[in-house]
Amino acid sequence: MASPAFHISTILRPSVLAFGAVLVALLSITSLVRDQDDERYLERRYADVGKILSAAIDPRFQTKADEITRVAERLVVIGAIRGGVLYDGSGHEQQVFGERVEASFNAVMRTGHTVFRPARSSKADFYYPPEASLTPFHIFLRVDVGEITSLETIRDDRAVTIALGGGAAAAAITEMVMMLMVWWPLRRVRTVVEAMLHDPASADRGQPLRGWGGEVGRLTFAFECLRSMLADVWRTRVMVADTIIESSPFAVLQINVDGHPFFANPSCARLFGRDILRTNEVSPLMLRDVASGARHGLKAYVETYRSGIRPVEFPTPNGPKQALLASLVLGAETRAPVNVLVGVDISALHGARIAAEAALKTGMEDVAKATTRTFEYKQMLEACLALMGGGKKSQEHLQVAAFAREWLDTAAEAGAVQVAEVDGEDPEVAGGADNLRAVTRFAAFLAYTQVGSLPVDMKIDVRGIDFETAGLQVQARAAAGGGKGACVADTNLALAALKAAVARVDGRLSEVEQEENGAVIVRVVLRGAAERMQTTMKSKTAD
């Protein structure tokens, strides 16, 4: 049977409404019929009393008020009427006989009604104008209508009885119809829903639902289609997806809109090293984005990264782990969207990548160090060759700034010099090209070896001192952020090679100075172009 709440809300209410509607309708119909019957009865009674009055008045004395009054009093005695009053044409009262009427002459003249009967009264007042009574008087008669009153009482009782019976029958029929067309189909639907919630895969088991026409029938048919589709989808998709997720090597974590996890497969527990569903409230999972370094809880992470794949790091009982985490939102346009995180452990790959990066960095440092060492060895070899070979003194005058730039570019490519600068007037100096090139290179090399660390910042300045001499100054200091190693070149070898080269161009090594801030300054004085020109003129005069 239907539950009390369902019976009251779905079945009893329509039955009560049907009972009330039929009761009101029948009472209204019987009331209308009663009023029409009363009107027809009063019309017949009015005509009958008028005929009696006309027949009782002698036509010879119908203009005399006394004769009319005498006739009316006789009618009162025999019970034909109960009383009345006689008015003349101007509305003045002439005679009164029997009971006095309640209707007034003015009311008749104002409304034009000929019958006056108070509600539910057993007496009525009839008005007969002169043209109806064939007299010059306005006649009001009071008559007994008790017969219609008794009939009204009987009729009202019957009408109430009929209305109550009709309402009860309508209520019973309505309840029966509601039970057959609403309660029974919905009861079957409820049974199917309970079975479907217990085992969705068997939702389409049993006979198909059928219902009568109307909205309930269409609802039953729609639900039958729904349960068939649900069972098919559950068996072919949901159960398959559930099996795949449970056995998947990828961790799957589902999070609601409040940021609380409500589903995690076994791989998720293996990835995070704990049961996230039970421990997240006590110890919230914190994820660190490897790319940006930002740390987020689950809710903040899914709000920040709604889609895409990002590498993350998180703590576990066995130490930090790294994973690739994919985030997506299902049902974003619904009232309860679900955030899904799919992760795979990349700790081994991350460790291998760190090791490869470290090896690459070490290899690049070794290559850079080997390049620098090769540069230093080449410079020392060049110094040895300069000491072994005497060379000849040629007489030229040229600029040496290009030699300085050449050496600085080579040193910068080898990683020996970080910041290089060539400044000064770059005057022409006297000497052979190879010898001047050697002087410039060995002066820079000596300053480099005197600093002793890698790399260095170097500035070479070439300026004229007077008309006969020019100065070459090399200034070097340890570069900012250096400390990449020590210089292995022999500073004594560089100094000896510089002295030999300076002697070949008739120059002079002025000083090698090391300041308190660690800077090294090498100064060389060379012959200028004016001195070269003067020497040439002397040789021509001697010839």
Checking if the pLDDT of 383 tops 60, the result is: yes
**By CB neighbour count within 10 A (0-12 exposed, 13-18 middle, 19+ buried), where does 255 fall?**
buried
| Better-predicted residue by pLDDT, 367 or 158 | 367
What single string gives the DSSP state of each residue in 85-151? Answer: EEE-TTS-EEEEEEBPPS--HHHHHHH--SEE--TT-SEEEEEE-HHHHTSSSEEEEEEE-HHHHHH
pLDDT, residue 211, reads: 64
**Section 434-463 average pLDDT:** 92
Per the CB < 8 A criterion, the answer to whether 229 and 245 are in contact is: no
Q: With 80 as the cut, is the pLDDT of residue 112 above it?
A: no
Overall size of the chain counted in residues = 543
pLDDT tens, 12-47? 667 777 777 777 776 677 666 555 666 677 777 778
Environment class of residue 407 by beta-carbon count within 10 Å: exposed (0-12), middle (13-18) or buried (19+)? buried
The answer, yes or no, to whether residue 62 has pLDDT greater than 70, is no
Q: Residue 461: beta bridge partners?
A: 423, 473
Q: Six-digit token pair at 136?
A: 């010059």
Global pTM reads 0.48
**Domains observed in the chain:** 4-153 (no CATH), 199-245 (no CATH), 248-345 (3.30.450.20), 367-541 (3.30.565.10)
Summarize the confidence of residues 485-510 as an average pLDDT: 91
Backbone angles phi, psi at 349, to 5 degrees: -65, -40
Residue 26, burial from CB neighbour count under 10 angstroms (0-12, 13-18, 19+): buried
Given a cut of 50, whether residue 542 has pLDDT beyond it is: no
Asked whether the predicted pLDDT for residue 531 surpasses 70, the reply is: no
Q: What whole-number distance in Å separates Cα of residue 290 and Cα of residue 324?
A: 10
Task: Quickly state the pLDDT bin for 312 (edges 50, 70, 90).
Answer: very high
Token pair for 3: 């539950």
The band of 59, judged by pLDDT with boundaries at 50, 70 and 90, is low
540 pLDDT higher than 50: no
As a dihedral over the C-alpha atoms of residue 516, residue 522, residue 525, residue 526, rounded to 10 degrees, the angle is -160
Q: Please give the angle made by the CA atoms of 216, 222 and 223, to the nearest 5 degrees.
A: 90
Higher pLDDT, 197 or 150: 197
Return the structure tokens found at 143.
């008559």
Question: pLDDT for 246-273, tens place per residue?
Answer: 888 999 999 988 888 999 999 999 999 9
**How far is it between the farthest Cα atoms of the chain?**
201
Sign of the alpha-carbon torsion through 212, 213, 217, 221: positive
pLDDT for res 533: 47
Q: Which pair of tokens denotes residue 530? A: 């004016």
Q: What is the pLDDT of residue 145?
A: 75
According to the model, what pLDDT value does residue 456 have?
Answer: 93
Strands (E), 46-89: 83-87
At 314, the pLDDT band (50, 70, 90 cuts) reads: very high
**Is the predicted pLDDT of residue 432 greater than 90, yes or no?**
no
46: tokens are 């009015």
Antiparallel, parallel or unpaired: β 261-264 and 138-144: unpaired
Predicted confidence band of residue 11 (pLDDT cuts 50, 70, 90): low
Mean pLDDT of 521-543: 64
Cα(483)–Cα(138) distance, rounded to whole angstroms?
142
If one compares 369 and 152, the residue with the highest pLDDT of the two is 369
**Residue-level pLDDT at 538:** 47
What CA–CA distance (Å, rounded) separates 249 from 344? 8
512 and 452 Cβ atoms separated by less than 8 Å: no
Higher pLDDT, 389 or 516: 516
- Strand ranges of the sheet holding 417-424, from the earlier edge strand across to the other edge: 417-424, 456-464, 469-478, 520-527, 508-514
Say what the pLDDT of residue 1 is: 46
The tokens for 81 are 């009427």
Q: What is the mean pLDDT of residues 285-310?
A: 89
Q: What are phi and psi of 52, to 5 degrees?
A: -60, -45
H-helix or E-strand spanning residue 228: helix 215-233
Q: What percent of the chain has pLDDT over 70?
A: 85
pLDDT at 87 over 70: yes
* Mean pLDDT, all residues of the chain: 81
Residue 146 has pLDDT above 80, yes or no: no
